[in-house]
Structure formats: structure tokens, C-alpha cells
Amino acid sequence: MAFLAWVTLLAPLIAAITLLVRPRLRGSSGGPKLAIFSVFICAATSLVFWLFRSETVTTSFEWMTVGDLTISIGLLVDNLSTLMLLVVGLVGSAIFVFARGYMKGDPSIGRFYAKFALFVFSMLGIVLADNFLMMFIFWELVGASSYLLIGYYFEKPSACDAAKKAFLTNRVADFGFLLGILMIWSLTGSFEFAKIADAVKDGDVSGPQWQLTLAGILIFVGAMGKSAQVPFHVWLPDAMEGPTPVSALMHAATMVAAGVFMIIRAFSCFDLGVGATALGGASMFIATTGGVTAFLAATIALVQRDIKKVLAYSTLSQLGYMVMALGAGAYSIAMFHLTTHAFFKGLLFLCAGSVIHGCHHEQDMFKMGGLRKKMPATFWCFTIGMFALMGLAPLAGFFSKDLIIDSLHQKHLVGLQIGATVTAALTALYMTRAWLLTFFGEYRGHATPHESPPVMTRPLKFLAFVSAVIGLVFYYGHGQDYLSAWHGKFAGPLHMDPTIAVVSTVAGVVGFLIALALYKKSHRGGEKIVARFPRLHSLLVEKYYIDDSYHWLVQNVQQVIARGCRWFEEAIVVGVLVGWPVGVTRWTGDRLRRMQSGRLAFYASCFVGGVTILILFLYTVAH
């Protein structure tokens, strides 16, 4: 089993390296096949883990020892990581296959697959890591490979900017993560999850409670970057500049889920038993952040024109749900939603990719329409994904989303519970709007839309099937025990309050009906509302001016500081501190250079003179 874990981790890396060092392989069709094969291996091994693993698999070796600090590289396969492996493996496989169709004809498809495989490797590293430090390394690798993939179309300035933005935003948040890791290390003396958990359980923490809370918040800040929570969410919509399969894999199914996964992994160390945690006030902060993100993102999604942007904001919103669940201490439910979301959001993104592909790379929904008849397979898959997202029973989202609202209810977080319910309505509204604009009415574009080839629709069908059944499987079947069984200490079996289910379903239906009323007849149905609330509309279009305020902040605060630093560097450091020695050295050098006459006789004379003086000195002084 341990060997299998290493295979899972290293297969994509080997594929990536092979693709990088064998340029000929990149041009041929063998390159993509190799990458796809490596991801299939991951999917297969994760299925083996899922079905046949009876206990936690651990394997590790020591990497380096510095003083008391021992850093090890180790893999940990428990219920949590198996579930995450399954998500990465299955969704990844579907997307890898899909990308072969989507990226067909791209001259550098080999480079694409190399980066893609590298990304999967980094992601698996996070999932399998058994200590914080290794997780952090792969965490940064995910950031780096996402930079590479978002900036895949590097000839486009906007793609480069988006890549930089994603990387830098993540870096800021990662700094919090690093600080959190170091803080935990100083508190418990270990990086390993198991040891940290033991230390916390035994109360063997060398610091007061507030420090532990602070460490929890710092780690959460790291997750806020990857999982795109307010105020670090700005990179995710821009990251849609990458190819659509990238958006599907990274910015819907796995990378953004890494933040949530990391929190679950990290916070399970702080769990003291059913419902209790050693983190104190951190949970409230987390839950609120999630709620704000969920609501803001859902409202922004209402006014987007780009189909991928709608899905991007929808992703933000759903991540907000997961984070709310984390805040409420319902880790298993957050993981459940993560799993279902990965499948249906991957599905939706791939459908969007299929639509974009069919419309010859048109992304504006207002230039689509009527695709229902031209792309039937895509349409049906999108419909399933949409209803799964909206939470229509018995599709996947119904269970996971209602369980999150239920967990908020149990913690008496009434405000968040209402917010989540309203957001459910908004979710239905913007998804239905996108659905109607894209697939109904008359075609408004200029291309000739066509259904995508089977290499693209087959993964869609696979994901649609999984999205349809996974909620049932988990709620009623095998997953039930599975989700509640980590470390044997997470809150008991999943069960849903029927009232809440009804309320949130009603909310969804209301959103659906409003969208239907507005957009059923014409794609211009929203204009009346816009005319009535112009300021609200511009507020949403401008994304609550968050990007602009960052821009202002950079322009007026950071730039001023930077200019000051530059002045300091040029005038003080270069001018005085460095300038003085430089001047003296240059002057002396100029004078001394003349001694280098190039005449051997002169050198010999100097030598003899020196020796003479030395001898005389020794004769006179030493005696």
C-alpha cells in the first residue's frame, strides 16, 4: 500500500519530466497520451485505496536534520486523503481526456500536458503529505504550476497579468500559512500532523490559548489564498484567462479545493472531540469569511457576461459554503461538499469549454443562445451540473449544501444560515440565467456552432453521471461511514433536517423561477432591472470595487513606500554607504594601477627592495 502511495504521487511527475526532457514526444500524440495515462494511474490507485484500504497507510523517510529539527518526507493515506485522491484522480482523468479534444491543434500541446501533469503532481503532494512542511512545499508548487498554466497563452498580455496576479495574491496568503506553520512548530515542536494532534490532545502546548488561535487563523489565511476567500478572491476570476480545462481542473475542482482540504487536515489536529476545538475564536472568523465570500461572489455572478466568469464566481461562492462549514466545525460536511462540488463544477466548466469550443472561442453568453439543439449532449450535461449546483434533489449539491446549512443551524449561526439560504437562491438565479442565455432562444453569434467530438463529450457524460449519483452514494451508502470516520472523532453520521432541506429547495426554486421569468422570452430580460437599479448594477459589475481599491492601495500606498525605499537605496545605500568605499577603492586603484608597468625588471626591483627592508628590519628590531 505504501508503494502504491508513492506510485500515485510520482506517476504524474515522471510524465511531466519525460515530456519536458523529450521534446519530440511533446509534438506527437504520444505526449498527451502519456500524461493521461499517468493520471489514470492515479485514479486507479485512488480507487484501490478507496475500495480495499482498511487502515491508515503511512510511509516516511527523514530528509534532513538541523539541530533538534527533523524534516521528513512522508505520505499519509487515510480516509480524508483517499477521498481527495479520488476527486483529483477521477476529475483529473476526465479533464485530461477532455483537454485532448479542446487543445487539439494547439502547437504546444505537449507543454500544456507537461504543466498539467506537474500540477497534478503538486496537488497530490498536498493531499498525501504527512507533515506541514512537505505540504507547504507542494502548496507552493501548486502555486507555481498554476502560474504556468494560467499564463499558458503567454503571448496574451492579459494572461500574463492574470498569472502574475494569481501568483502574487497567493504568495501574500502563503506567507500567512508559513507563519502559521512556524507558530505551530514553536508551540508543539513538530511539523507532523499526528504528533501535533497528540500534543494538542494532551495539552502539551508551550503557549497560551490565544497563540493557538492565532496559529489557526494564520493557517486559514493561507487557505484563503488558494481557496480564494474574500479578500484574496481577486485572482480567481482573472485566472479564467487560462485554457478552459485548466479552469476546470484548477480553479474549480482541485486547486481551490486544496485550501479547504488543507484546513480540514490542519484543523483535524486541533480537534478535541465532537464539536470542540482547540482553536477558540478562530472558527467564528472562518465562518464569517466564508459567508461573506459566498454571498458577494453569488451577487457578482449575477451580472457577468462571460460564461467562464459566471462559473468562476460560482466557484467562489461554493468555496464560501465550504469555509462556512469549516467555521461551524463540520469538517466532514465541508469535505463532502468539496467532493460533490469538484465533480459538478468540473462538469460545468467542461461544458463551458465544450460550448466555447463549439462557438469558436466565443465566451460572451450574449453572443450565444439556442445551443440546446446544436449541442444536445453538452446541453444535457450542463443541465445536470446546473441542477446539482442548485441543489435539486437528489443530485449531488442537494445533500452537501443542505448539510452545510444544517450545520450552521446546529451551531446557531442564524445570520450565516440566512445568508447561505439567500445565496442558494442567488445561485439558482445566476445559473439559470447562464443556462437560458446559452442554450435557449435564438443563436446570436456569428460562428456556426457544432457539437464537440466524442473525446470531449465522453468525459462530460462521465462527470454528469458521477454528479448525479455521488450525493446519494455518500448520503445513503458507503460514504456515510467514510466521511464520519476520520480519526474517529468527527461528528456522527450525516443526517439532514427536513425543514432546512425544504427551505433551501424552495429558495432554489424561487431563484430558478425568477430567472425563468426574466430570461425565458428574451436575453434582454435583465435590462429592466438594470435600469431600475443602475448603481447596484455598476457596483456588481465593478465587483464591489475591490479590485479598484487594491489598485488604489498599490498606487497610493505601496508605490509611495516603494518610492521612498528606492530613494533610500539610491541616495543612502548606493550614494553613501556603497559610494564611499567604491570611490576610495577606485581612486586607490587608479593610483596603484600605474605600478603595473608590465616591466619585469621593475617588479624584480620591488621584490628585492621589499626583501631588503624585511631583512634589515629583522636584523635591527629582532635582535
The cell for 320 is: 464560501
Kindly state whether residue 621 participates in binding another protein, applying the rule CB under 8 A: no
Is residue 599 close enough to count as binding another protein by CB under 8 A? yes
Does position 596 interact with another protein (CB under 8 A)? The reply is: yes
Backbone angles phi, psi at 175, to 5 degrees: -60, -40
Residue with cell 490559548: 209
Residue closer to another protein by CB (options 361, 623) is: 623
The residue (of 24 and 594) whose beta carbon lies closer to another protein is 594
The reply on whether position 602 binds another protein by CB under 8 A is: yes
Sign, Cα dihedral of 365, 369, 374, 378: positive
Burial of 60 (0-12, 13-18, 19+ CB in 10 A): middle
Q: Do 54 and 32 contact (CB within 8 A), yes or no?
A: no
Pull the grid cell for residue 50. 478507496
CA 530/CA 546 separation, integer angstroms: 21
When asked if residue 597 is in the footprint of another protein (CB under 8 A), the reply is yes
601 near another protein, judged by CB under 8 A: yes
* Cβ nearer to another protein, comparing 502 with 615: 615
Decide: is 528 part of the binding site for another protein (CB under 8 A). no
When asked if residue 532 is in the footprint of another protein (CB under 8 A), the reply is no
Interface with another protein, residue 418, by CB under 8 A: no
H or E element at residue 237: helix 235-238
- Contact between 582 and another protein by CB under 8 A: the answer reads no
Of 24 and 599, the one with the shorter C-beta distance to another protein is 599
Stretch that binds another protein, among 405-413, 436-444, 527-535, 611-619 (CB under 8 A): 611-619
- Establish if 592 lies at the interface with another protein (CB under 8 A): no
589 is an interface residue for another protein by CB under 8 A:
no
549 binds another protein per the rule CB under 8 A: no
554 binds another protein per the rule CB under 8 A: no
**Shortest distance in whole angstroms from residue 584 CB to another protein:** 23
**Options 66, 561, 600, 621; binder of another protein; rule CB under 8 A:** 600
**Distance, CA of 202 to CA of 214 (rounded, Å):** 19
- Among residues 247, 451, 248, the alpha carbon closest in space to that of 358 is found at 451
- Residue 561 or 601: the one with the smaller Cβ distance to another protein is 601
Residue placing its CB nearer to another protein in the complex, 576 or 600: 600
CB of 588 to another protein, least distance (A): 18
DSSP string across 160-225: HHHHHHHHHHHHHHHHHHHHHHHHHHHHHS--BHHHHHHHHHTT--SS-HHHHHHHHHHHHHHHHH
To the nearest whole angstrom, how small is the minimum distance from the Cβ of residue 583 to another protein?
Answer: 24
CB atoms within 10 A of CB 164: 15
Name the 3-class secondary structure at 15.
helix
Contact between 615 and another protein by CB under 8 A: the answer reads yes
Q: How far apart are CA 492 and CA 274, in angstroms?
A: 8
Which residues are near another protein by CB under 8 A? 596-602, 604-605, 608-609, 611-612, 615-616, 619, 623
